[in-house]
């Protein structure tokens, strides 16, 4: 079989819900692959499935007819860690350099989610894949951080809404992506990248001894195109007589075919761990699939007693949106293993049953009647007193200037999850100030338009690109449109009654991790630099 025909055969098997066929030959007891489907039109295309629309016309997964369409969370929501607590579900994600960080979301039906709080307010550095768990009535977040020092921290709360504790450093500088587990004897553990683990004290706030290697992760065939082996994100689920360890391998970015989900099981938390004969459980096997680099999975029981998995993936052609959270149905098979049954996740699937439905998502438009720093807005790499820069009064956000440009001003950013959108805002500056709107990846890669009292300032590739004359002085309304990576700007001196097109359009499809690194997304936002205070009001967002 040629490489192309083998790839196509694997792709068809995966789309039919038989991701298990993508590994070595199936063994006895394997679940039978579903029949290969006919070619499907991708979501959003004419004749293909269309997303439901929610607040600000943003796409949402619940189609309202007993089906849903991925993503579960649009935009950058990577490395999901999910907790079932009675009838309630809580989930959070990697938040990297955005603070307040670790926004916790709540649902009772696994499909419709609302933000609860941002658990981490102290800037520790870049926050990678966390672990949210509950033990003996207390909530814990184990947080790997690339910072000073690098390592894993823990915070805890007796109520999910907080207050959350100050971070406590646990060490573990050579490991990432912890997974909490409780053994058959009640012992507590953190499973770590690379197949290691370390014991926790009974209160979960300290480690005992040194990390030990307990598992050699399953290795994919040598001719597969991957980013790197990178075993990470071990999540432990107890089901029946087994503990199941679900691990990500293959690298989370790079080639679309790299990332994948593998499984192992043991009757004891102490091993030995037996590899699933159907590995990998999930893998993108073709660049033609709608979701790339799928991996980093966690299993969770649904409201009706069925089982599901959450993991992340990149939307085909939209690395700029970061890794989005996906929901995949799980079936336990006769041989005591499990498989994902959602295929390539490009088509609608039956929604989880049971649970109380609620609204989904969060409006990104802001009337600034309240200050929504955390669940909605986040500072990028804030200093210790950054939150004191922002205040609201009379429907206006006042943002004290910092730095000279977006790169050093710690802009305020949103997570926008649609492939096309438009946002606009009234902006007023004081003498010596400069403020505006940005599409921001990080301090070295962004674009946008701002103004001082005499000139506009344009940003592209993370640098200043031009300063044409500003006819409107210290106050105007700015509008930014991102139409599938084509970005353009409009400005108005009369509050949006008449608009003028700014003479500099941009193409931003390269503003992403595979160009710049960092695992981030291109986020819309606002900034205030120079001196004085900038005022922002009537911010409206609309997905197109």
Tokens of 277: 């004969």
Half-sphere exposure at residue 287, Cβ-oriented, CA atoms within 13 angstroms: 7
CA distance 449 to 437: 6
Please tell me if the domain spanning 3-19+58-350 has the same topology as the one spanning 378-543: no
Quickly list DSSP for 77-108. --S-EEEEETTEEEEE---BTEESEEEEEEES
Considering the four listed CATH numbers 2.115.10.20, 1.10.3720.10, 2.40.50.100, 3.40.50.150, the one that applies to the domain covering 3-19+58-350 is: 2.115.10.20
Q: What is the pLDDT of residue 248?
A: 98
Determine the Cα angle at 408 with ends 449 and 398, to 5°.
65
Q: What is the pLDDT of residue 148?
A: 86
Q: What is the pLDDT of residue 245?
A: 98
Contacts of 444 (CB under 8 A, 6+ apart): 407, 462, 516
Residue ranges per structural domain of the chain: 3-19+58-350, 378-543
φ, ψ of residue 18 in degrees (nearest 5): -115, 60
* Per-residue confidence in pLDDT tens, the chain, 544 aa: 333 333 333 333 333 333 333 333 333 333 333 333 345 899 999 999 999 999 999 999 999 999 999 999 999 999 999 999 999 999 999 999 999 999 999 999 999 999 999 999 999 999 999 999 999 999 999 999 999 899 999 999 999 999 999 999 999 999 999 999 999 999 999 999 999 999 999 999 999 999 999 999 999 999 999 999 999 999 999 999 999 999 999 999 999 999 999 999 999 999 999 999 999 999 999 999 999 999 999 999 999 999 999 999 999 999 999 999 999 999 999 999 999 999 999 999 999 999 999 999 999 999 999 999 999 999 999 988 888 999 999 999 999 999 999 999 999 999 999 999 999 999 999 999 999 999 999 999 999 999 999 999 999 999 999 899 999 999 999 999 999 999 999 999 999 999 999 999 999 999 999 999 999 999 999 999 999 999 999 999 999 9
Determine the Cα angle at 503 with ends 499 and 505, to 5°.
105
Q: What is the pLDDT of residue 386?
A: 83
Q: What is the pLDDT of residue 76?
A: 98
Helix, strand, coil fractions of the chain, as percent rounded to 5: 5, 45, 50
Report CA 309 to chain centroid distance, whole Å: 15
Could you tell me which CATH class the domain 378-543 is placed in?
mainly beta
Q: What is the pLDDT of residue 262?
A: 98
């Amino acid at each position: 079989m040629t490489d192309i025909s083998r790839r196509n055969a694997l792709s068809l098997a995966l789309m039919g819900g038989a991701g298990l066929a993508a590994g070595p030959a199936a063994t006895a007891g394997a679940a039978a692959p579903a029949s290969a489907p006919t070619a499907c039109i991708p979501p959003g295309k004419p004749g293909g499935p269309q997303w439901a629309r929610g607040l600000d016309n943003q796409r949402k997964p619940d189609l309202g007819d007993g089906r849903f369409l991925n993503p579960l969370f649009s935009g950058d929501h990577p490395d999901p860690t999910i907790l079932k607590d009675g009838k309630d579900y809580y989930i959070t994600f990697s938040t990297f350099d955005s603070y307040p960080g670790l926004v916790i979301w709540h649902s009772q039906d696994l499909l419709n989610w609302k933000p609860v709080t941002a658990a981490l307010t102290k800037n520790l550095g870049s926050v990678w894949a966390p672990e949210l768990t509950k033990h003996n009535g207390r909530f814990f977040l184990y947080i790997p951080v690339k910072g000073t020092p690098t390592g894993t921290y823990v915070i805890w709360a007796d109520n999910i809404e907080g207050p959350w504790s100050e971070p406590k450093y646990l060490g573990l500088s050579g490991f990432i992506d912890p997974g909490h587990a409780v053994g058959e004897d009640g012992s507590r553990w953190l499973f770590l990248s690379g197949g290691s683990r370390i014991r926790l004290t009974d209160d979960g706030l300290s480690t005992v001894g040194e990390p030990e290697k307990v598992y050699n992760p399953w290795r994919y065939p040598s001719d597969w195109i991957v980013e790197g082996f990178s075993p990470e994100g071990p999540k432990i689920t107890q089901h029946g007589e087994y503990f199941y360890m679900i691990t990500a391998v293959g690298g989370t970015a790079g080639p679309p075919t790299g990332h994948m989900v593998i499984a192992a099981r043991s009757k004891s938390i102490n091993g030995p761990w037996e590899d699933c004969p159907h590995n990998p459980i999930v893998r993108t096997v073709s660049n033609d699939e709608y979701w790339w680099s799928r991996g980093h999975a966690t299993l969770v029981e649904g409201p009706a007693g069925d089982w599901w998995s959450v993991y992340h993936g990149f939307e085909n052609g939209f690395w700029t949106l970061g890794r989005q959270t996906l929901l995949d149905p799980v079936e336990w098979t006769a041989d005591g293993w499990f498989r994902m049954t959602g295929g390539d996740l490009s088509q609608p699937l039956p929604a989880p049953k049971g649970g109380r439905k609620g609204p989904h998502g969060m409006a990104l438009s802001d009337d600034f009647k309240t200050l929504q720093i955390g669940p909605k807005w986040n500072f990028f790499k804030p200093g210790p007193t950054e939150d004191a820069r922002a205040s609201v009064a009379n429907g206006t956000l006042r943002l004290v200037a910092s730095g000279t440009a977006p790169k050093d001003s710690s802009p305020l950013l949103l997570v926008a999850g649609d492939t096309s959108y438009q946002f606009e805002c009234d902006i007023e500056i004081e003498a010596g100030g400069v403020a505006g709107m940005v599409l921001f990846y990080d301090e070295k890669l962004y674009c946008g338009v701002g103004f001082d009292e005499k000139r506009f300032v344009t940003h592209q590739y993370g640098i200043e690109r031009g300063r044409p004359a500003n006819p409107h002085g210290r106050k105007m309304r700015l509008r930014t449109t991102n139409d599938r990576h084509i970005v353009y700007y409009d400005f108005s001196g009369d509050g949006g009654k008449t608009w003028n097109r700014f003479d500099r359009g941009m193409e931003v499809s390269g503003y992403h991790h595979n160009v710049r690194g960092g695992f981030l997304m291109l986020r819309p936002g606002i900034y205030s630099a120079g001196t004085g205070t900038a005022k922002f009001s009537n911010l409206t967002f609309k997905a197109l």
